[in-house]
Amino acid sequence: MSEKTSFTLTQNDIPTHWYNILADFPEPMAPPLHPGTKQPVSLQDMTAIFPENIVMQEMSPDRHIEIPAPVRDIYALWRPTPLLRAVRLEKALQTPAHIYYKYEGVSPAGSHKPNTAVPQAYYNQLAGTKRLATETGAGQWGSSLALACKLFGLECVVYMVKVSYHQKPYRKMLMHTWGATVHSSPTKHTHVGRAILEKDPECPGSLGIAISEAIEDTAHHKDTKYSLGSVLNHVCLHQTVVGQECMKQMAQAGEKPDVVIGCVGGGSNFAGISFPYVREKIVNKDPVRIVAVEPTVCASLTKGELRYDFGDQAQMTPLMMMYTLGHDFMPPSIHAGGLRYHGMAPTVSHAYKLGLIEATAYEQTKVFENGVLFAQTEGIVPAPESAHAICAAIDEAIQAREEGQKRVILFNLSGHGLLDLASYDSFIAGHLSNG
Ligand SMILES: Cc1ncc(COP(=O)(O)O)c(C=O)c1O
């Protein structure tokens, strides 16, 4: 064995607490506002769609929040996830940089999303919820919640963005296998969906529309609550198991990252890997750079504006202070369906506003080109979403080569692309454009 490239932890190393960045921001975040009164939302406002235990977590100022034992027990099905050093990619790039990746694709659903699906289903079951309604883009989130609901005995209904419903049929089949009901959004089942289809019967859908449909479903069904796969504080909080594990694994590797990278849709996998490092920046003045990567055609951080906006198309959610392209923005039908969201997590937006993180954007063909390079060197076919992070990692490694300097790069490989092979097929056949 020439060089150590795999850094693994044991079941006992699964974090015992989630890390809450709200406790460490040097300036408080602007609160979410009630869309009618424009006053900060209250616990009562939020409990219309979420159980109280989750709302308490959403608003919690506590730095560390204990992970309940039943959640840790399920995490143990795939956590701790491996950290790997991409030595073959380094060699292909002829770079002095060391590239590390945290691999979240080993979860049953194939991505980081079960890290929050499991606690959300757990807290809902504890609160007496019988049925959860949600949206999904590429289907990673919907499949994760379908599994989590099955494990906790809840019904699950998923509004899946129409373009992905057709592009990614295996995700839909996975959700069916785990017992969920899946609708192609916009649907004829909700007022929101019907109104949109009347105006544009060919509407490809968007996460903003699917969220509106899931919230409307929640409001009209007894014992049903709503569950969101990204954006909100509690979702980003649950993902911090990723970054906490990375810190232990990087210590095992005997290195500290100079740059930490994650792709951003709603912001949760990026928050998961980076927030423990953002804390190091805030508290210990660590010079680590932290980079969020988005698609150029749906670039809320690099092209959006920071203002209060709705999280959904039909203006049902509270107003959140975030970088946004506008709640009615219709992103082109790129294959990284999980990155087609108009807004950005308020916590990630706040970190960006405070200059704690950077952002960059890539076009679809570049993303697939680098996804293929990664598959051909490291073996894993990355999810198109995660391939955005690979692009930034590769550019950092090339820059290190040009500067003739070592650089330690860490990125989150948030999921595998084994159910996205049709997208790779289109790329290889030369049929993909930049949207
Ligand atoms: C593999 C993968 N990575 C990243 C994302 C983006 O979401 P988020 O920004 O919440 O991590 C998604 C969303 O579906 C995804 O499936």
Between CA 10 and CA 301 the distance in angstroms is 36
Work out the mean pLDDT of the chain and round it to a whole number. 96
Query: What residue owns the CA closest to ligand 1's atom 5?
Result: 338
134 lines ligand 1 (CB under 6 A): no
- Cα distances (Å, whole numbers) of residue 131 to 182, 254, 433: 13, 46, 39
Question: Is the Cβ atom of 272 under 6 angstroms away from ligand 1?
Answer: no
268 lines ligand 1 (CB under 6 A): yes
Q: Residues 400-426: pLDDT tens digits? A: 999 999 999 999 999 999 999 999 999
Q: How many beta carbons lie within 10 A of that of residue 6, not counting itself?
A: 12
Distance CA 247, CA 255 (A): 10
C-beta of 264 in contact with ligand 1 (< 6 A): yes
Q: How many CA atoms lie within 13 A of 338 on its CB side?
A: 33
Q: Where are the alpha helices (DSSP H) in 232-345?
A: 233-238, 241-253, 268-284, 300-303
Q: Is the C-beta atom of 414 inside 6 A of ligand 1?
A: yes
In which element (H, E) is residue 182 found? strand 181-185
Question: If the chain, 435 residues long, is cut into consecutive pieces of 10 residues, what is the mean pLDDT of each piece?
Answer: 91 98 98 95 94 97 98 98 98 98 98 98 98 94 98 98 90 97 97 96 93 96 96 98 98 98 98 98 98 97 98 93 95 83 97 98 97 98 98 98 98 97 95 84
Pairing of strands 319-324, 305-310: antiparallel
Helix spans in 254-332 (H): 268-284, 300-303
C-beta of 390 in contact with ligand 1 (< 6 A) = no
pLDDT at 2: 77
Cβ neighbours of residue 28 closer than 8 Å, sequence gap 6 or more: none
Q: What's the N-to-C CA distance of the chain in angstroms?
A: 44
- Ligand 1 centroid to Cα of residue 133, in Å, is 19
Looking at the CA of residue 270, tell me the nearest atom of ligand 1: 11
Residue 262 is inside which H or E element, if any? Answer: strand 259-263
Residue 337's pLDDT is: 78
User: What are the structure tokens assigned to 331, written together?
Assistant: 């992103």
Distance CA 357, CA 261 (A): 10
Give phi and psi for 139, each to the nearest 5: 105, -5
Q: Name the residue at shortest CA distance from atom 1 of ligand 1.
A: 415
CA of 295 from ligand 1 middle (Å) equals: 12
Distance of alpha carbon 394 from alpha carbon 241, whole angstroms: 25
5-10 long-range contacts (CB < 8 A, ≥24 apart) are 5/84, 5/85, 5/87, 6/82, 6/83, 6/84, 6/85, 7/82, 7/83, 7/84, 7/85, 7/249, 7/250, 7/252, 7/253, 8/80, 8/82, 8/83, 8/249, 9/80, 9/245, 9/248, 9/249, 10/80
Distance from C-alpha of 354 to C-alpha of 434, rounded to nearest angstrom:
31
CB 417 less than 6 A from any atom of ligand 1: no
- Which tens digits make up the pLDDT trace of 114-155? 999 999 999 999 999 999 999 998 899 999 999 999 999 999
pTM above 0.95, yes or no: yes
Surface-to-core class of residue 145, CB atoms within 10 Å of its CB (0-12 exposed, 13-18 middle, 19+ buried): buried
pLDDT in tens, 281-304: 999 999 999 999 999 999 999 999
Q: Whose CA is closest to atom 7 on ligand 1?
A: 265
CB 140 near ligand 1, within 6 Å: yes
The kind and range of the H/E element at 291 are strand 289-295
* Residue 309 identity (one-letter amino acid): D
CA distance 432 to 17: 42
Residue 265 Cβ < 6 Å to ligand 1:
yes
Atom of ligand 1 nearest to the CA of 264: 9
